């Protein structure tokens, strides 16, 4: 595809457009993929639509300022993002081991962005262009906007705004905030004057700089010294993260006040449609053609994001603290237009890979009350039980899917992003469940029960295991009714706060009885900004301030993880150790409910086979031996 269809990435690109200046420099830790699921290009297209000249600098060499100067100084500001992932998550596994691949980089090459990229990039821009306004945004900055526990350093770090020395931080999705900031800067405002935009954070010398009703949470210094204060701060930050009733949250950092304004309102259907209609090429920039392309495009090239927000609000998920819990969605017309736009693509084989989002089967707010009063404080819509005010209605989503199935050139429309099965069961019509089975599964449906012990599920913010069992049974019956052979692939998590080694053994026992042998499991990953990470670090549930157990040592985490795949030969020693430690030797044996065989029996069996093999070999050798000549 021609370079001129992308945003400029070089002086040559700007020259080809006849530009002798540009307004905004957008820096990202991802390679440049011009697709609406990539945050930096999305903000770039939003600003372009407002009439600004925008250039993108993807994955610059951060070791000096040289790479940051190649496009020249922008007229208005630099906007910095680590990319679609937190850079530490992109670089390291839950076991803190270095990843060998980065799917957001050309050829999956790892190491093309620095650790804590938002901070590093922002500091380099400050060095390269003295006095230039610098704004940080994206997922990494959003989830690190307050003082936060950093798993990789194993300590509490300051707000990313402080360490980056940026002038402003944008959290959440950021389209409206970015447009307002751009308009103010273009109108001649100084960046220091921009303090009243929702969805932004800034540093001030005096608390009076806050323009909204506010609440103060424990300071950076307090949360470093006291884990209880950390939990209190987290509770306040979550309670105020609401676009309707939320107040600004202020957190002192030494002699400065971090002022985090209330969240921006979620985009309306009309606004979401307008963003989706921007002229994305939906392709990887051609400068990566000889480098192996960018693999992250493959999952999204023929997929559609139809909604935003998630009222499921799992405690280990960052979405509730980034996009928010209030769901909004695009119009049918908009989604249909997007699918029709890629039907003619030479690589399109007739399969729409996903019509989803944070949770695929959410199309509307969970109840009418939240539209007027906001989301309920300290209460989830679905867990541990569905709220009595919940409106479980799939009719609009079902109508959309039916329309998509009729698009000329479309053979199948799959749903591959998460289905919230407890919400699905609340829809008593059963119509969506039936059509999901018939039309929208590619052999396997991925759902996330995560665990089987209800106490652990409560800490996760997930429904009770009985709900999953009802779902699985209905799924089985519907598949039989429609003559399908489709399976459930459960997502499971080990070592989540609240899960003891005994709980991990119970989960293995449950899976064994159910005939489930997970191919993949996830060890809990304490990423910034989640309630579960707060539990892991503080040992307290911030919702109740009651103690909660967390597996901290590498050994116990390995034991819990091994229990979820007890059947793998390489896990045998760990499983044996876990069963002995928990006094569950009853699961070692030959019975149907046992997880592993006794070690002595296995050794004896192996020794017997070895002995028999040796005898056979000797006999064979004797039989084949030529007689000696006399």
Nearest to 364, CA basis, from 386, 388, 335, 397: 397
Provide the b/e sequence for 559-582 (b: ≥16 CB within 10 Å).
Answer: bbbbbbbbeeeebbebbbebbeeb
| pLDDT recorded at residue 417 | 86
Where residue 1 falls among pLDDT bands split at 50, 70, 90?
Answer: confident
What is the number of domains present in the chain?
Answer: 2
Q: Identify the pLDDT of residue 371.
A: 87
φ, ψ of residue 150 in degrees (nearest 5)? -110, 110
How would residue 602 be classed by pLDDT, with cut points 50, 70 and 90?
Answer: low
What's the average model confidence in pLDDT over 131-149? 98
- Domain assignment present for residue 508? The answer is no
The CA-based diameter of the chain, rounded to the nearest angstrom, is 113
CA angle, residues 324, 327, 332, in degrees to nearest 5 = 140
The reply to whether 153 falls in a domain is: yes
Residues 201 and 274 in one domain: no
Q: Is 483 exposed, middle or buried (0-12, 13-18, 19+ CB in 10 A)?
A: exposed
At residue 438, does pLDDT exceed 70?
yes
For residue 623, the model assigns a pLDDT of 42
Co-location of 200 and 283 in the same domain:
no
Distance, C-alpha 38 to centroid of its chain: 13
Average pLDDT for 528-555: 97
Four-CA torsion 553, 492, 359, 115, nearest 10 degrees: 30
Among residues 536, 561, 586, the one where a domain terminates is 561
Q: Considering the domain boundaries, does residue 609 fall inside one?
A: no
Which whole number is the average pLDDT over 164-186? Answer: 98
User: DSSP assignment of 177-240, as one string?
Assistant: HHHHHHHHHHTT--GGG----TTEEEEESSGGG--S-EEE---HHHHHH-HHHHHHHHHHHHHT
* 327-346 average pLDDT score: 96
| Lookup: tokens for 482 | 């429609």
What local confidence, expressed as pLDDT, does residue 603 receive? 52
What's the mean pLDDT in 307-329? 94
Please check whether residues 121 and 48 belong to one and the same domain: yes
Whether residues 35 and 163 share a domain: the answer is yes
Residue 597 has pLDDT above 50, yes or no: yes
Check whether 314 has a pLDDT greater than 50.
yes
Q: Six-digit token pair at 216?
A: 């103060």
Residues 200 and 273 in one domain: no
23 in any annotated domain: yes
In a domain, 576, yes or no: no
Cite the beta strand spans of 388-439 per DSSP E: 412-413
pLDDT band for position 182 (cuts 50, 70, 90): very high
Q: Which H or E run contains 402?
A: helix 395-405
Pairing of strands 487-494, 522-523: parallel
Which pLDDT belongs to residue 280?
97
Share of the chain above pLDDT 90, in %: 92
Distance CA 235, CA 218 (A): 11
C-alpha span between 447 and 468 (Å, rounded): 9
Name the one residue in this structure whose structure tokens are 């945003």: 7
Percent share of the chain, pLDDT over 70: 95
The pLDDT score that the predictor gives to residue 615 is: 53
CATH code for position 279: 3.80.30
What range defines the domain where residue 454 resides?
Answer: 269-486+525-561
- Considering the domain architecture, whether residues 336 and 194 belong to the same structural domain is answered as no
Residue found under tokens 């609440």:
215
Q: Residue 609: is its pLDDT beyond 60?
A: no
Is the pLDDT at 610 greater than 70? The verdict is no
pLDDT tens-digit profile of 614-630? Answer: 554 444 444 444 443 33
Q: What is the per-residue pLDDT for 410?
A: 97
Q: ω before 384 within 30° of 0 (cis)?
A: yes
Ramachandran sector of residue 322 (left: φ over 0; alpha: ψ -120 to 50; beta: rest): alpha
Mean confidence (pLDDT) of the chain: 94
Report if residue 364 sits inside a domain: yes
Taking residues 11-17, what's their average pLDDT? 97
Residues 6 or more apart from 173 whose CB is under 8 A from it? Answer: 264, 267, 308, 322, 323
Predicted local distance difference test score (pLDDT) of residue 24:
98
Domain boundary (507, 534, 561) is at 561
Q: What average pLDDT does the segment 423-443 reach? A: 96
The verdict on 87 and 159 lying in the same domain is yes
Q: Are residues 290 and 392 part of one domain?
A: yes
- Asked which of 512, 536, 561 is the last residue of a domain, the reply is 561
At residue 378, the pLDDT reads 85
Average pLDDT estimate for 133-161: 98
How far apart CA 247 and CA 212 sit, in angstroms, is 7
Question: Taking 90 as the threshold, does the pLDDT of residue 556 lie above it?
Answer: yes
500 occurs within a structural domain? no
Strands of 243-298, DSSP E: 248-253, 256-260, 283-284
Sorting pLDDT into bands at 50, 70 and 90, what band is 600? low
- Residues 190-225 as b or e (16 or more Cβ within 10 Å = b): ebeebbebbbbbbbeeeeeebebebeebbbbebbbe
- CATH code for the domain of 65: 3.40.50.280
Q: What is the pLDDT of residues 84-112, one digit of tens each?
A: 999 999 999 999 999 999 999 999 999 99
pLDDT at 619: 45
Both 157 and 298 in one domain: the answer is no
Does residue 495 form part of some domain?
Answer: no
Q: Do residues 404 and 335 make contact, with C-beta atoms less than 8 angstroms apart?
A: yes
pTM above 0.85, yes or no: yes
Report the SS3 class of residue 506: helix
In this structure, the answer to whether residues 181 and 312 fall within a common structural domain is no
β-bridge partners, 134 = 78
Q: What is the pLDDT of residue 618?
A: 46
| 166 shares its domain with 276 | no
Q: Are residues 197 and 285 in the same domain?
A: no
Distance (Å, rounded) from C-alpha 60 to C-alpha 109? 14
Query: Which tokens is 418 given?
Result: 């998460």
- Name the residue with tokens 């307290």: 540
Q: What is the mean pLDDT of residues 363-378?
A: 92
With beta carbons less than 8 A apart as the criterion, state whether 197 and 180 touch. Answer: yes
């Amino acid at each position: 595809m021609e370079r001129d269809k992308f945003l400029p990435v070089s002086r040559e690109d700007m020259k080809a457009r006849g530009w002798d200046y540009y307004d905004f420099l957008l820096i990202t830790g991802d390679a440049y993929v011009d697709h609406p699921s990539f945050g930096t290009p999305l903000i770039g297209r939003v600003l372009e639509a407002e009439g600004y000249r925008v250039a993108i600098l993807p994955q610059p060499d951060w070791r000096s300022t040289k790479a940051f100067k190649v496009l020249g100084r922008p007229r208005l500001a630099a906007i910095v993002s680590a990319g679609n992932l937190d850079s530490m998550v992109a670089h390291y596994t839950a076991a803190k081991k270095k990843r060998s691949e980065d799917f957001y980089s050309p050829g999956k090459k790892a190491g093309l962005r620095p650790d804590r990229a938002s901070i590093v990039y922002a500091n380099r821009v400050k060095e390269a262009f003295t006095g230039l306004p610098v704004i940080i945004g994206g997922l990494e900055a959003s989830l690190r906007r307050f003082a936060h526990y950093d798993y990789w350093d194993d300590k509490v770090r300051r707000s990313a705004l402080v360490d980056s020395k940026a002038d402003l931080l944008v959290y959440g999705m950021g389209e409206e905030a970015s447009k307002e900031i751009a308009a103010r800067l273009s109108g001649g405002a100084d960046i220091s004057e921009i303090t009243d935009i929702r969805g932004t954070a800034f540093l001030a010398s005096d608390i009076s700089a806050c323009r909204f009703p506010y609440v103060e949470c424990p300071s950076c210094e307090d949360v470093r010294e006291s884990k209880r204060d950390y939990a209190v701060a987290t509770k306040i930050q979550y309670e105020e993260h609401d676009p309707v009733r939320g107040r600004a949250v202020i957190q002192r950092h030494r002699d400065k006040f971090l002022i985090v304004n209330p969240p921006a309102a979620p985009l309306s259907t009309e606004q979401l449609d307008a963003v989706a209609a921007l002229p994305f090429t939906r392709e990887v920039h051609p400068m990566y053609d000889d480098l192996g392309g960018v693999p992250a495009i493959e999952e999204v090239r023929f997929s559609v994001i139809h909604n935003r927000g998630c009222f499921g609000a799992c405690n280990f998920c960052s979405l509730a603290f980034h996009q928010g819990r209030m769901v909004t969605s695009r119009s049918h017309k908009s989604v249909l237009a997007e699918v029709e736009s890629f039907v003619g693509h030479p690589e399109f084989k007739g399969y729409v890979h996903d019509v989803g989002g944070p949770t695929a089967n959410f199309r509307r707010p969970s109840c009418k009350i939240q539209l007027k009063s906001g989301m309920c404080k300290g209460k989830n819509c679905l867990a541990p039980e569905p709220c009595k005010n919940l409106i479980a209605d799939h009719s609009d989503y079902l109508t959309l899917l039916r329309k998509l199935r009729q698009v000329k050139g479309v053979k199948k429309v799959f749903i591959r992003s998460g289905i919230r099965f407890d919400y699905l069961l609340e829809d008593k019509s059963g119509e969506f469940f039936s059509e999901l089975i018939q039309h929208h599964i590619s052999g396997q449906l991925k759902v996330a029960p995560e665990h089987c012990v209800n106490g652990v599920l409560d800490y996760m913010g997930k429904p009770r295991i009985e709900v999953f069992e009802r779902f699985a049974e209905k799924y089985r019956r519907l598949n039989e009714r429609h003559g399908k052979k489709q399976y459930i692939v459960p997502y499971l998590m080990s070592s989540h706060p609240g899960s003891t080694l005994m709980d991990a053994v119970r989960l293995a026992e449950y899976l064994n009885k159910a005939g489930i042998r997970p191919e993949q499991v996830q060890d809990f990953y304490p990423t910034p900004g989640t309630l579960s990470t707060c539990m892991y670090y503080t040992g307290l549930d911030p919702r109740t301030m009651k103690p909660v157990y967390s597996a901290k040592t590498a050994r116990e985490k390995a034991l819990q993880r091994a229990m979820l795949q007890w059947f793998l030969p390489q896990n045998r020693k760990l499983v044996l150790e876990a069963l002995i430690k928990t006094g569950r030797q009853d699961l070692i044996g030959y019975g149907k409910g046992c997880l592993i065989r006794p070690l002595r029996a296995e050794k004896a069996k192996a020794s017997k086979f070895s002995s028999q093999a040796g005898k056979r070999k000797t006999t064979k050798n004797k039989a084949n031996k030529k007689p000696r000549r006399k």
